[in-house]
């Protein structure tokens, strides 16, 4: 699902459209979006990135953080989107802090992007 609008309505995500296209075309789709390793390789190549020195930031454990983890990047979760702090706490309790294959734990968690900027400023002054 995706959260849409100021009231954060849950609406079907891209997967629903992909399934409809697969059914109509009678072909199997190749996933090149998050968390596909094909996308990570493309991004790394096009932007000359070293995944070991890259932080992938997103608001979902199952796509964004998983993409970073499976691509060898550090990952940051921002709690302003789909994944809530309650969800993170529940998964931590269930998995003793390890997360799951589908919903891995990020390297760092920010309540909002402003916190990331504060951390950057603090590191510059250190």
Render pLDDT for 28-67 as a digit per residue (tens, 0 to 9). Answer: 998 888 888 899 999 999 999 999 999 999 999 999 999 9
Q: Tell me how crowded residue 44 is: count the other CB atoms within 10 A of its CB.
A: 16
Higher-pLDDT residue of 17, 69: 69
Cβ atoms of 34 and 67 within 8 Å: the answer is yes
pLDDT over 90 (residue 122) = no
Pairing status of strand 55-58 against strand 74-78: parallel
Percentage of the chain lying above the pLDDT 70 cut: 94
Pick from 9, 110, 119: nearest CA to 64: 110
pTM: 0.78
The residue with tokens 């891995």 is 104
């Amino acid at each position: 699902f995706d959260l849409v609008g100021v009231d954060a309505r849950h609406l079907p995500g891209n997967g629903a459209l992909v399934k409809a296209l697969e059914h109509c075309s009678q072909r199997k789709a190749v996933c090149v979006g998050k968390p596909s390793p094909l996308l990570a390789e493309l991004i790394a190549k096009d932007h000359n990135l070293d995944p070991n020195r890259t932080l992938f930031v997103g608001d979902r454990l199952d796509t964004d953080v998983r993409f970073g983890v499976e691509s060898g990047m550090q990952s940051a979760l921002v709690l302003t989107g789909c994944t809530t702090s309650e969800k993170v706490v529940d998964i931590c309790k269930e998995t003793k802090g390890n997360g799951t294959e589908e919903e891995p734990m990020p390297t760092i968690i920010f309540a909002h992007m402003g916190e990331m900027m504060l951390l950057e400023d603090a590191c510059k002054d250190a």
